[in-house]
Amino acid sequence: MRAIGRDVTNWTSRLMNGKILFDLDDVVNEKLAQVPCLVARWDRIHKCCEEGNESFITYNKSVEIVEKDPLNENKLRIKLSTNEVLDDIDFVVGCDGRYSKVRESVLGPSVPFYGPPYIADFRIVCSTKEVNTKVPHFKGIQRVYQTFDHGGCVRVGLMRMPPKANGGDDDDDDELGLFGNVPMGDDHASFETQKQDPQFLARAFSSLNAPSVNDQIGNLVLEILQRHGASAHWARKQETPTKYAIANNILLIGDAAGAIYPSLGQGANLSLEDACIAAACFRAYFENNNINITSRVSAIRTPRRNDIQRWSRQHAMHVAFGNLENEIRDWTQDNGPWRRALFQLWNGWPRAHIAQHFEPIQAQVATRDNFASFGDLVTISQDGDLYNPNTIDAKLDLSKGEPRLYFMELHGPRPLSVRWLTRHTQVTQCLASLDNQPFWLAVHIPTPSENDHKPTLTNTKVFLIPPRHFVKLHAGTWHAGPFWRPSKHNDSADLDRMTFVNLELADTNVVDHFSVDLLEEYNVHDPHATIPVVIHDES
């Protein structure tokens, strides 16, 4: 892929008049990504697939119907667009896009959802020889904004395209790519008429202030829109609910598993990630046929796709509402939500070798009984109830130092996966959410310190702590978290941080803080590799 693409390390955002909003000079140096981002052309990717897999790929046929084989309920039958019928099929992987026939055959028609924020995407590719404006030298991607006085904005990303499949990289005839977003408003019919106007985009990007004559990027964007706006390729932002496993022997991947808004350009990324994880799970099946391929892929991939669906919707909202001050803050501050999202986007994909060799951890809802080996789960008691550590209260030990009770604000959402566990041997730590939101904790029973016993991955559990509860951990209980994530139906930005009440000792984090890498014994050296956790309402 890197041989056919172009590395991108720099992202700059600016207004049409040249004012710089923010500049991510190098995403690797700023520790947002381990390697440069990669932009590749679809024609080059297709050519690689055709050249490398000619004997495995049949073209000009498509699946129309997938159904149970009437002669064997454990097998499948496929009807093709050519009217051919294939019987005795063991397994089907549907990777046939957002209008998937495989998905439709089993789940029924599923038209991609189109809803707020109502944004349309466009893209234009043209040769540098087709513009009069001198093309300045620029690194990476230039994101250019134009704001409206009535709210909202339009934006475009300008970049040099990677070379075509049939030619070299001729600097004298580079191609430029414009990839932009325009708010549609509620009157979709009117918008459909407006976009037919060849100067619609040019007017949108110069509606308030014509770009400064001194800003080459702004002038270049405007000229491309004036000359080539009529040839723009348009797409609406649509998505479908995430669904990977639709039967024990039918798996969906790529857009078939859940279409996303293209705001972040992650559709192809997700498809490649899906393919890697699916291949790893097939390898695991042939090594040990006790695993369920579809459920493992779903457990690993569903949270990732849901996260990117959510980030893509939120990214589209920047265009719908046009608050560039928030945009600048979110990208530039160390704890800005977009910097955190980018870090998770570029580092947090599930690793194929983890998917092949490790079973995801199944989360469970904590109760007083099932949490007892790790600590106490405490809920509301009535005024006047007497102390009872055996049924409703927690028995604390704060005798080895000065107690510390404080509010702990954490930024997130925190991806629900496990690698490092920590313990405090001198205190019974207590933790509760102030936000009336559920959260998750990974825990492992205390291990003897004198024998240097370490916690094991197989005995690590993950619990959902319900709202209006707090947990007390036994002294020495290994733990990780708290973790939290927005629900599937809640994009609320207020979940980018949560506040917890924490009770421990004044010096706990200085002298009583011991951590262990659960993957060390397996020689996993990738620092971002983690064990995924299954949340049953997601998978």
DSSP one-letter string for 243-274: --EEETTEEE-GGGG----GGGS-HHHHHHHH
6-39+118-236 and 91-114+238-357 agree in CATH topology: no
- The DSSP call for residue 246 is E
Closest CA to 253 of 261, 237, 242, 262: 242
Task: Residue 354: count other Cβ atoms within 10 Å of its Cβ.
Answer: 22
Nearest to 255 by CA among 182, 309, 315: 309
Instruction: Give the class (CATH, top level) of 91-114+238-357.
Output: alpha beta
**Cα angle value 278/279/284 (rounded, 5°):** 95
Buried b (16+ CB within 10 A) or exposed e, 93-112: bbbbebebbbbbbbeeebeb
How is the chain split into domains, by residue range?
Answer: 6-39+118-236, 91-114+238-357, 361-534
Do the beta carbons of residue 164 and residue 45 sit within 8 Å? Answer: no
**pTM of the full structure:** 0.87
For 4-46, write each residue's pLDDT tens digit: 888 888 888 888 888 888 888 898 998 888 888 888 887 788 7
In terms of Cα–Cα distance, which of 482, 480, 479, 489 is closest to 467? 482
Could you give the count of Cα atoms lying within 13 Å of 286 in the half-sphere of its Cβ? Answer: 5
* pLDDT tens by residue, the chain, 539 residues: 778 888 888 888 888 888 888 888 898 998 888 888 888 887 788 777 777 666 777 778 888 999 999 989 899 999 998 999 999 999 999 999 988 999 999 888 877 776 777 888 899 999 999 998 888 888 789 988 888 766 678 889 999 988 776 655 455 568 899 998 888 877 777 888 888 888 888 888 885 555 555 788 988 999 999 999 999 998 877 788 999 999 999 999 999 999 988 878 888 899 999 999 999 999 999 998 778 999 999 999 998 999 898 888 888 877 777 677 777 887 788 778 888 888 888 888 889 999 999 999 999 999 999 999 999 999 988 888 888 888 889 999 999 999 999 999 998 777 789 999 999 999 999 999 998 889 999 999 998 776 668 899 999 999 999 999 999 999 999 999 999 887 554 554 446 789 999 999 999 999 999 999 999 989 998 888 999 998 876 44
CB atoms within 10 A of CB 58: 8
How is domain 6-39+118-236 classified at the CATH fold level? D-Amino Acid Oxidase; Chain A, domain 2 (3.30.9)
DSSP 383: T
CA distance 146 to 319: 10
One-letter amino acid at 139 equals K
Which numeric CATH code is attached to 361-534? 2.60.120.480
Closest C-alpha among 352, 272, 271, 279 to residue 91: 279
